[in-house]
Structure 1
Amino acid sequence: MSHKPTTVNELGEFTVLVDVRSPAEYALDHIPGAINCPVLDDDERRIVGTIYVQQSAFEARKIGGAMVARNIARHLDEQFRDKPKDWRPLVYCWRGGMRSGSFVNWLRLVGWDAQQLRGGYKAWRAHVIEQIAVLSPRLDLRVLCGPTGSAKTRVLQALAAQGEQVLDLEDLAAHRGSVLGAVPGRPQPSQKGFETQLMHRLTALDATRRVWVEAESRRIGRITVPEPLLARLRESAVVEIAATPAARLAYLLRDYAWLGDDPQGLADKLGTLRELLPREVLAEWQAWALASDLPPLFEALMARHYDPLYARSQGRHLERLPHARRVACEDLSDEGIQALAARIASLT
């Protein structure tokens, strides 16, 4: 039972991945499937760091060592008591140093074939960035575009249900990419967390088959789309949904009906447009929001904000937009979206 540092390419050889960083570090991002067994919690890590800066490395190790020992003992007793002898954990911390090394030593003293991830989370992070850069140019993307209210996200979901490969960036980013785009009950992930999930999704795609994706700008809420994927998206073939204004408005009123339940929140969102709109226009829109009067508000948003923004931006962002296949649509009901997705999937 040799003790050798393990690389990210060997993750699948282990029973479990154990992240021994603090809960805050783990929440920011972690290797998919890893469990969190911190050797120092957030407060303990702060205390040890303060002692290191204000006193000495020796004092920090002395105080921190006792904390680490107690936490490892607790994890052994509470998390791992029932594990068999052939249980194989792979342990990592920030950069493959003392935190994961201490944990591995104790697990190996028990008799388990525990190993330490060489380079820790930093090695994983480098792997994520590298894989996004390698995999993105290989994608055979088909880019769905169309003005706001064209049901692009719902069409993507329908395409997936019909057996097509789909890359839903807005779902990974937990944001719908507009001033009203926050997803209720789903905070956006960290940038690192988004990129980890993106790499995981890219790895699962079949590079020999086309992949449908929605046209996106560089940012989705506060998430930035990695440059290699953005470059591939901008140079790929385009399919444009040409839905009628009436169909788009009806769809928006169904899909964003929940905004009427929080009039003040909706008015506050509209306030972010104050630099783009005349004062009297914004005041009228916010009055509609406060009254939960969504039809005139959404119609005005389409005509005065979303459609002009779409006209300005898509030509810059999509190189092949002039050669796009246009698919006309007058019905964005649930049944209409299914039919629209089937027509799009039939394109060659």
Structure 2
Amino acid sequence: MSDMYLCSDFKSIVLNNTPLIDVRAPVEFEKGAFNNATNLLLMNDEERHLVGIHYKEKGNTKAIKLGHELVSGTKKETRIKSWLDFIDANPNAILYCFRGGQRSKISQEWIYEAGYNITRFKGGYKAFRNYLLTQLEESPKHFNPIVLGGRTGSGKTILLKKIENSIDLECLANHRGSSFGRKLTPQPSQINFENNLAYDIIKKLDTGFKYLVFEDEGKNIGSTYMPKSLANYLLTAALVILETPINERIDTTFNEYVTEAQKMYKDGGFIDALAEWRDDILSAMSRIKRRIGGERYIHVTTIFENAYNEQIRSGALDAYKEWVEYLLVEYYDPMYDYQILNRSENVKFRGSSEEVLAYLALF
């Protein structure tokens, strides 16, 4: 195949959301892949394992021969058809394997023999992954950071969605960024989180933004964590504090922790979704026991259990608002206020949602 069907313009792939065919085995895909990538394998996990053993014991030529024997006949036809169907639906698709070597080259040749042309990555997954990591590492050179802070329930995530030059870390991490932030769908792998974050930053910087706005998060967002260079850079950022009345914060947190969370569990297909939600909330509260203190832990647990029993009895949810308020006032607020006190020199502005939006529009 001609070099004209090799691609190393990774930035254009990011900016154009180019559909990708990942021909690696599922076990490789699950560890990390890219936005808009679909796993249409050349070899499955077992076939890859057998070929790998053959490669170590008998060399490359024998391994390739075994690979062709394992993927032949109907199996080969089925896999080629899956690629062709994808190309029909996505004519600008690009394919890749791990290093841009044998697997993607063989896949490309089989596709060509079937009457189609497709470009493959030069250097494969590894080259594109290195590009994204480099962009993340060097991104602090290209923008000024602003961090949006505020107490729990102040509506930071809601406000962030109204800001065009924002990076929504919680969305990228599929986690709400708190002790009670677990979602039923799993978080991305660390590799995928980094890849998706790089995609987002590259796109934002390409629009010409000189300032990027991030929600105030720790280094860890659930099981994922920000790259060290970026996390350290955000520690130097100007801090804008969103101030929201306590009654609005209670309503926002109640909607997230109770109304929407219970709906999520019901939609998740649990036999007893409400009991499953209750158990996860109690588990989350047990994790903060040491920080909140034994006496307050007993009190907040009692409030929650009373609210749960009231829901079982009458179907009403309002009693949970007392539990939410207690969590905000006794747990979240003191912790967040202490963190802000230690970064007080970074605070450049405080205000309501409308005032913060107006302030950020200046950048």
Q: TM-score, normalised by structure 1?
A: 0.80
Aligned match of 2:189: 190
Alpha-carbon separation, structure 2, partners of 1:132 and 1:282: 40
* 2:41 maps to amino acid: P
Preserved CA contact (<8 Å) 2:34 2:192: no
Alpha-carbon separation, structure 2, partners of 1:88 and 1:345: 38
* 2:348 maps to amino acid: A
Cα pair distance change 1:275/1:82, threshold 3 Å: closer
Residue 253 of structure 1 and its aligned partner are, at CA, apart by 1.9
Alpha-carbon separation, structure 2, partners of 1:234 and 1:82: 44
Cα pair distance change 1:107/1:122, threshold 3 Å: same
Preserved CA contact (<8 Å) 1:72 1:103: no
Q: Which moved more, 1:109-118 or 1:209-218?
A: 109-118
**1:211 aligns to what SS in structure 2?**
strand
Cα pair distance change 1:115/1:273, threshold 3 Å: same
Cα pair distance change 1:89/1:278, threshold 3 Å: closer
Cα pair distance change 1:10/1:312, threshold 3 Å: closer
Aligned match of 1:172: 172
Preserved CA contact (<8 Å) 1:139 1:207: no
Give CA-to-partner distance per residue, 1:197-226, whole Å, 9 cap, x none: 111111111344433221111011111112
Residue 193 of structure 1 and its aligned partner are, at CA, apart by 0.9
Equivalent residues in 2 for 1:17-28 (5 A)?
A: 17-28=20-31
User: Quick check: 1:150 aligned with 2:176?
Assistant: no
User: Quick check: 1:324 aligned with 2:348?
Assistant: yes
Residue 125 of structure 1 and its aligned partner are, at CA, apart by 1.0
* 1:299 maps to amino acid: E
* 1:284 maps to amino acid: H
Equivalent residues in 2 for 1:1-348 (5 A)?
A: 2-3=2-3, 6-9=6-9, 12=12, 17-49=20-52, 61-70=64-73, 71-80=75-84, 90-157=94-161, 159-160=162-163, 164-183=164-183, 185-205=184-204, 206-258=207-259, 259=261, 261=274, 262-291=277-306, 292=308, 293-316=319-342, 318=343, 320-321=345-346, 323-327=347-351, 329=352, 339=354, 342-345=357-360
**1:254 aligns to what SS in structure 2?**
helix
Residue 170 of structure 1 and its aligned partner are, at CA, apart by 0.8
Q: TM-score, normalised by structure 2?
A: 0.77
Alpha-carbon separation, structure 1, partners of 2:360 and 2:93: 44
Preserved CA contact (<8 Å) 2:83 2:111: no
Q: Which moved more, 1:29-38 or 1:116-125?
A: 29-38
Cα pair distance change 1:106/1:247, threshold 3 Å: closer
Alpha-carbon separation, structure 1, partners of 2:302 and 2:196: 40
Name the Cα RMSD after superposition.
3.2
* 1:301 maps to amino acid: L
Preserved CA contact (<8 Å) 2:43 2:71: yes
Residue 319 of structure 1 and its aligned partner are, at CA, apart by 7.4
Alpha-carbon separation, structure 1, partners of 2:133 and 2:202: 13
Cα pair distance change 1:77/1:346, threshold 3 Å: closer
Alpha-carbon separation, structure 2, partners of 1:82 and 1:236: 44
Residue 5 of structure 1 and its aligned partner are, at CA, apart by 7.6
Give CA-to-partner distance per residue, 1:140-182, whole Å, 9 cap, x none: 332211111211111112x23xxx4221111111111110112
Aligned match of 1:333: none
Alpha-carbon separation, structure 2, partners of 1:82 and 1:122: 23
Preserved CA contact (<8 Å) 1:263 1:289: no
Cα pair distance change 1:8/1:274, threshold 3 Å: farther
Cα pair distance change 1:83/1:142, threshold 3 Å: closer
Unaligned runs of 5+ in 2: 263-273, 309-318
Cα pair distance change 1:224/1:82, threshold 3 Å: closer
Alpha-carbon separation, structure 2, partners of 1:270 and 1:34: 38
Give CA-to-partner distance per residue, 1:290-320, whole Å, 9 cap, x none: 343422322222233212221333355x574
**2:21 aligns to what SS in structure 1?**
strand
Alpha-carbon separation, structure 2, partners of 1:201 and 1:346: 20
Residue 12 of structure 1 and its aligned partner are, at CA, apart by 4.8
Preserved CA contact (<8 Å) 2:250 2:325: yes
